[in-house]
Amino acid sequence: MKLVPTASQTVGPFFHVGLARPELADLTQGGKALGERIIIEGQVRDGDGVGIPDAMLELWQANAAGKYRHPEDPQEKSVDANFVGFGRAFTDREGRYRFTTVRPGAVPGRGNALQAPHIAMTIFARGLLKHLTTRLYFADLAQANDADPLLSGIEDAAARRTLLAQPVNGAPATYRFDVVLQGEGETAFFDI
């Protein structure tokens, strides 16, 4: 018998049916986590600028002290029992999403060089054969961003700007981070 690999299939549109759990978008467990509470909100758009309903976004990040809630993080920093470090949000009919989290601390990268505070983001949406991975940096941390080994290594200034979440007036601190899947202003995605 000859084995034949299964053909690739596009993702979705089914996220809202089985995974619509708004509590997954709050990484602070109702505001109990240590650190500065922030909101990340935005829209996932296609190449025509239209919001994509039924997309799913995942966040992975360090806590306010710069420690990941993962057994392979060797740092001798405290783990915040009230900070999850992982979250999921789903877009609404206009492609909008929202996370409640804390501003992450800086974490060491290769050669122990400090990375700017950032959040890893994965996007799943209908029509994608594979998920997309990017990072969100904070535009109001220019000095840390300029020293970040990954961000400063992106030569195209326009692509680099797509990774910067922009502050929006409000309390708690709110940042806008739109994800553009293709075309003008396309978000920089990483091939990992």
Give the CA-trace dihedral at 116, 30, 14, 8, to 10 degrees: 30
Burial of 85 (0-12, 13-18, 19+ CB in 10 A): buried
Q: Tokens in use for 57?
A: 């976004």
Q: Quick one: average pLDDT of 112-134?
A: 92
**Model confidence, pTM:** 0.88
pLDDT digits (tens, 9 = 90+) for 154-163: 999 999 999 9
pLDDT digits (tens, 9 = 90+) for 88-113: 999 999 999 999 999 999 999 888 88
Q: At 4, is the pLDDT very low, low, confident or very high (cuts 50, 70, 90)? A: low
Contact status, residue 107 vs residue 95, Cβ threshold 8 Å: no
Q: Tokens in use for 119?
A: 């959040």
SS3 26: strand
> Is it the case that residue 11 has pLDDT exceeding 90?
no
Domains assigned to the chain: 15-180 (2.60.130.10)
